[in-house]
Amino acid sequence: MTTPIFYVNGDPHLGTAYAAINADAFARWHRLLGDEVLFLTGTDEHGLKIQQSADEHGVSPQVWVDHTASRFLGAWRELDISFDDFIRTTQERHHRTVQQFLTAIYENGFIEKGFYVGLYCVACEAYYEESELLEGSRCPVHERPVTEMSEENYFFKLSAFTDRLIELYESGAIRVTPEFRANEVLGFLRQGLKDISITRTSITWGVKVPWDDNHVFYVWYDALINYLTAIEYGEDTGRFAQWWPAVHHLLGKDIIRFHAVWWPAMCLAAGIDPPSQLLVTGWLLVDGAKMSKSSSNQIDPLSVVREMSSDTLRYYLLSSTSFGADGDVSLERLRASYNADLANDLGNLVSRTVALIVQKFGGKAPLVPSLDERNVTLMEFVSNGITAWNEFHPNVAIGAAMEMVRSSNSLLEHYEPWRRPVDDPESAWCLGTIREALRLAALLLSPAIPQAAHGVIERLGLSDLGPLEWRPGGEISELSRAEPLFPRLQKEK
Ligand code: MSP
């Protein structure tokens, strides 16, 4: 599982955190299924944009990237991003991989020298065709004017791969989620591809072209190769074969062309398989506009973590927008989702269940009953949740888990154990059922809210999240009242 590597021209914001959190949830889900997972993230540290940010701050590019990369690393830790490796493109290991990979492409005859004149957006680090621009020669992503650039540089013969790429998408050999994005890619491919310029002489902040000292590679061309750096392409064939091409690249819709067209073509040109799956997210919007570093509408994810918790932010981002679609976000809605779903539904049910077990059963948790017609429908939520995670629909999976919580709450309201005598068998059945339903809901929610899921398990007196199936009997444990899982927020700010 990979995230895009993040530009270090500013601090992380909610939009960049969204990519990391989605990838993290999928990585966690697959670990939970028992799959062997290698989860990669990192920072994209070369290129004109970074050089310009360093200049603006009056420091060298290296000082600037060290500073900002550590902000991303720190933020991802606070957001519980469970990455196995963090690749920085200024690392020596990455330079080595880029040079080996591109030398393979060069030797295979797919890189040639040429002259390029084009319209460039520095914020995108990409050339645009006139026809793609907004009125006034403005970039379609940043809505800022593009600049004309001309350079002698090396070209990658992308055009040679048009038909093979079409075949790969038509046959489903490269899977794309959501599927409509594959059609978009096919539409683009069918217009035919142009060769792309992949080196620069105008800047020095980049990976040196091994066969020509005057050139550095164009930032996108070096960045994509980060995915191979961590699995030791060209250095450890066993490790490379273990992980490639079974890769799941998660990326935003703004960078689909690089991942769906360039990257597979680069892999084919170097003689390796293309990646097998692309997972494409939509954008987080603020009042209809993309949240981005270049338009000051960012929300700082760490301020949310400090006010509430990392789980709160993760829950909101994963549940409020369906995967692949754009979603408008706001702090008011985030607080509302915390209060309604986490504090009211989940947090309250856990507190009430524990309190009733303490009051009516002296803290000894009743055993989990077998499934019968009164509680078997709860398992439908589990199976819906499993399917949804497997198909990359976090909001549906979370929805299924929360339905399970709400149905359990209805059971509690129906049996009213608080009105019944101590050690009442019906209450024992009801509370045993709810304890198991809460365990399964926590399990399904754990890729999204890992800390709170463990909080639920601890409060229920269990030692771990356990299996994804109903477990009659269960552990005998002593429960005691604990701090609320999600304290209600005071006044909305
Ligand atoms: N450095 C390139 C990626 C190279 S991958 C080989 C890049 N970096 S980025 O920092 O600009 O963006 C990283 C990811 O964050 C992208 O997937 C992008 O779509 C995502 N997001 C940035 N802003 C976003 C929103 N407002 N909403 C959702 N995701 C967005 O592109």
Segment 334-372, tens digit of pLDDT:
999 999 999 999 999 999 999 999 999 999 999 999 999
**In contact, 79 and 314? CB cutoff 8 Å:** yes
Q: Which residues contact 43 (CB under 8 A, 6 or more apart)?
A: 5, 6, 7, 8, 65, 68, 69, 72, 86, 87, 88, 89
d(Cα 20, Cα 73) in Å, to the nearest integer?
A: 11
- Considering only CA atoms, which residue is closest to atom 23 of ligand 1? 15
Confidence of residue 159 (pLDDT cuts 50, 70, 90): very high
User: What is the reported pLDDT for 254?
Assistant: 95
pLDDT band at 112 (very low <50, low <70, confident <90, very high): very high
pLDDT at 255: 97
Give 418 Cα–ligand 1 centroid separation in angstroms: 51
Burial 359-368 (b: 16+ CB within 10 A, else e): ebbeeebbeb
Residue whose CA is at the smallest distance from ligand 1 atom 11? 7
Mean of per-residue pLDDT scores for the chain: 94
| 231, HSE (Cβ side, Cα atoms, 13 Å) | 22
* Separation between Cα atoms, residue 470 and residue 371, nearest integer Å: 8
Instruction: Judge whether residue 324 has pLDDT over 50.
Output: yes
Res. 492: pLDDT tops 60: no
Quick one: pLDDT at residue 150? 81
* Phi, psi for residue 2 in degrees, rounded to 5: -130, 150
The larger pLDDT score, comparing residue 473 to residue 489, is at 473
Q: What is the pLDDT of residue 493?
A: 44
Return the pLDDT at 165.
98
Q: Where are the alpha helices (DSSP H) in 224-347?
A: 226-229, 237-243, 256-257, 263-270, 301-307, 310-320, 331-337
The winner for highest mean pLDDT among 12-26, 112-126, 192-206, 292-306 is: 12-26
Which residue's CA is the nearest one to ligand 1's atom 28? Answer: 283
Q: Ligand 1 pocket check: which of 1, 16, 283, 300 to mutate, most ligand atoms within 8 Å of Cβ?
A: 16
Q: Say which residues have a Cβ less than 8 Å from residue 316's Cβ, sequence separation at least 6.
A: 329, 333, 334, 337, 338
pLDDT band at 116 (very low <50, low <70, confident <90, very high): confident
Nearest CA to ligand 1 atom 25: 15
Say how far apart CA 98 and CA 372 lie, in whole Å.
59
Nearest CA to ligand 1 atom 30: 15
Cα-to-centroid distance, 484 and ligand 1 (Å): 36
Checking if the pLDDT of 93 tops 60, the result is: yes
Residue 449 has pLDDT above 80, yes or no: yes
- Per-residue model confidence (pLDDT) at position 491: 58
Q: Which of 78-92, 97-111, 209-223, 466-480 has the lowest mean pLDDT?
A: 466-480
Cα 392 to middle of ligand 1, angstroms: 19
- Give, in order, the Cα–Cα distances in Å from 277 to each of 19, 248, 249, 251: 16, 5, 6, 11
Asked whether the predicted pLDDT for residue 487 surpasses 80, the reply is: yes
Share of the chain above pLDDT 90, in %: 84
pLDDT of residue 260: 98
Lining ligand 1 with CB less than 6 A are 4-7, 15-16, 18-19, 44, 223-224, 226, 251-252, 254-255, 281, 283-284, 290-292
* Ligand 1 atom at shortest distance from the alpha carbon of 252: 19
> For ligand 1, atom 10, which residue shows the shortest CA distance?
6
How many C-beta atoms surround the C-beta of residue 237 within 10 A?
10
What is the rounded CA–CA span in Å between residue 300 and residue 151? 38
Substitution site in 14, 44, 292 for ligand 1 pocket (most atoms within 8 Å of beta carbon): 44
Q: What is d(CA 458, CA 472) in angstroms, rounded to the nearest whole number? A: 19
Q: What is the pTM of this model?
A: 0.93
Distance from the alpha carbon of residue 5 to the mean position of ligand 1, in angstroms? 8
Is the model's pLDDT at 21 over the cut of 60? Answer: yes
Instruction: Please state, in angstroms and rounded to a whole number, the distance separating the CA atoms of residues 491 and 493.
Output: 6
Question: From the CA of 288, how far away is ligand 1's center (Å)?
Answer: 17
Quick check: 294 pLDDT over 70? Answer: no
Length of the chain: 493
Q: Which of 201, 209, 191, 205 is nearest to 115 (CA)?
A: 201
* 407 neighbors 437 (Cβ within 8 angstroms): yes
pLDDT at position 436, please?
A: 97
Q: Given the CA of residue 284, which atom of ligand 1 is nearest to it? A: 27
